[in-house]
Structure 1
Amino acid sequence: MDNRTNLDDYLAGLGISDADENAPPPPTPDAAPTAMPTLEAAHEDPKLVLERFLKGLTARIDPSLSFNIRENEDALEVEINGEHAAKLAGRDGRTLHAIEVIAYTVLAKQAGRADLRVRVDVGGFRKRQADTLAKLAERLAIQVAKSGEPHELQPMPAADRRIIHMTLKEHPDVMSESVGEGAARRLVIRPRHG
């Protein structure tokens, strides 16, 4: 069995094919949404497009998986459930991020909605990750406030940096800022000077 052909067939079924090589690349986590060219006939209901994509994806990964889609004003949020759903998170949430990028591309092509984000979670992974980052931000804020020295974190995705920024937004002793470009963008926590 030729895996390349099966993948090509699957991607073509999603509206993504080799013919799309000249299409703009998917957005990076730091990029603002930009209008992507869409097919004239491509204006299906985004929730239905995402549901169809997820049915195909989960059927191929693990047919016992289920999912729930919630609509927000700027995003469709997906919770994937099942006995082995947690494996979908991947290392540091990388698999979830990949699913989000592909789902975003599918929505842009089939629903004409390049402005709509997709957020995917499995087994509360994103919530636990947010809690861990918030606790890290609080610990580092105490350390920076005591030492008076800034602390630079390793590069991280925009969503993770945002959690830390929001955690420290109202902190009386420290402030946070993002520095660097692209995948090397990282967060620095500095003492807040009156």
Structure 2
Amino acid sequence: MAKEQDFYGSNVADAIVNACKELAAAQEDLIIDVLETGSPGIFGLCRKRARIRVSRKGQPKPAAESVRPEAEAAVPPAEPAPAKTPPKKKERPLREQKKPAPKPQPEKVERQKEVVASESKEVPAEELGPYVPPTAEALEAVRQDVAKLLELMSCPSSVTVELENQTVVCKVSGEHQDILTGQEGRTLDSLQYLLRKMTTRLLPDRTKLAIEVGDYRERRIEELKKRVLELAAQVREDGMTQAIPALNPSERREVHMLLQDDKEVRSRSVGEGLFKKVLIYKPGKKKPFSRKGGKGQQNDGPAEN
């Protein structure tokens, strides 16, 4: 069978040039399969290289079948040796050794505080050394990037940038606040995620970036806390697990912190991706979904951030 090799490039044409150069062959002498066409990404981020699989045309296949009859003629027709030593008997002790040891029972700890720590993922400041704040030039560059992005979205707005507790807060105001916020703040969260990727090169380590449109996030947190307290009271009354869907990491952390000292109810995150569901439930019982929560797969494993 002809030997195949994979080659990469910024695009398919570049990958083919690399293959021809490496194999010292013309393109018409090669069999080329395009596996990935590549992607330039967004704002230079998340680029993907093109990938092709190449083999030479007309390469003779090894004549394995023509040699086989002669080889079989030279070998005795029966080989009883392997049959006399069944491998299964020898493997039985190994299988017994490979049995996983029973896991020790974990010590009882305050579950809710573990959840809060998993959401924040913060490392103690003393282990990281002194914090170096961004320069005034870096803050101005961030402000210009935010203003330019909003202009490209046809939503020109006034942008101010301030440093608050190691977080660069970009405050946006203007007539396009409803558009920039979006339903349930999804557009705002997406903008924040994109700008964090864009401004990584401008901001020093341990510096976060947040975007606030008007006072949306402040109002959103207050409404979320009120809803959490109402659901927690309902769980205490009927024992049915309640769910709050599609919360971003900072919102989930607010929920866990609000309930971390509650001795009757707990909260935990389930799901994958940036937006996850938070369950509010009574500890020590199964966690079924309430009628309002709808049907879905329950995640009873460790809390996810």
Equivalent residue, structure 2, for 1:76: 168
Unaligned runs of 5+ in 1: 1-10, 24-29, 34-42
Equivalent of residue 183 in structure 2, options 71, 84, 91: 91
Pairwise CA RMSD: 2.9
Question: TM-score, normalising length from structure 1?
Answer: 0.69
1:48–1:79 Cα change, 3 Å: same
Equivalent residue, structure 1, for 2:155: 62
Residue 158 (1) aligns with residue 249 (2):
yes
1:143-179 Cα deviation digits (max 9, x unpaired): 0011123223334322221221122223343221123
Question: TM-score, normalising length from structure 2?
Answer: 0.46
- Secondary structure of 2:199's match? helix
Instruction: Find the aligned partners of 1:155 and 1:58 in 2 and give their Cα distance.
Output: 25
Equivalent residue, structure 2, for 1:181: 272
Tell whether the 8 Å contact from 1:88 to 1:122 is kept in structure 2 after alignment.
Answer: yes
Instruction: Find the aligned partners of 2:48 and 2:120 in 1 and give their Cα distance.
Output: 19
1:184–1:55 Cα change, 3 Å: closer
1:133–1:173 Cα change, 3 Å: same
Instruction: Find the aligned partners of 2:48 and 2:277 in 1 and give their Cα distance.
Output: 30
Q: Give the 5 Å matches for 1:20-39.
A: 21-22=47-48
Higher Cα Rg, which structure: 2
Instruction: Find the aligned partners of 1:62 and 1:185 in 2 and give their Cα distance.
Output: 29
Residue 144 (1) aligns with residue 171 (2):
no
Residue 17 (1) aligns with residue 44 (2):
yes
- AA of the residue aligned to 1:62: C
Aligned-pair CA distance for 1:66? 0.6
- Secondary structure of 1:105's match? helix
User: Higher relative contact order by CA 8 Å / sep ≥ 6: 1 or 2?
Assistant: 1
Tell whether the 8 Å contact from 2:249 to 2:274 is kept in structure 1 after alignment.
Answer: no
Aligned-pair CA distance for 1:192? 4.9
1:57–1:129 Cα change, 3 Å: same
Unaligned runs of 5+ in 2: 1-41, 50-118, 123-133, 285-305
Instruction: Find the aligned partners of 1:106 and 1:72 in 2 and give their Cα distance.
Output: 20
- Secondary structure of 2:165's match? coil
Instruction: Find the aligned partners of 2:169 and 2:238 in 1 and give their Cα distance.
Output: 40
Equivalent residue, structure 1, for 2:144: 52
1:181–1:58 Cα change, 3 Å: closer
Instruction: Find the aligned partners of 2:230 and 2:203 in 1 and give their Cα distance.
Output: 43
Tell whether the 8 Å contact from 1:46 to 1:107 is kept in structure 2 after alignment.
Answer: no
- AA of the residue aligned to 2:269: S
Tell whether the 8 Å contact from 1:155 to 1:184 is kept in structure 2 after alignment.
Answer: yes
1:32–1:107 Cα change, 3 Å: farther
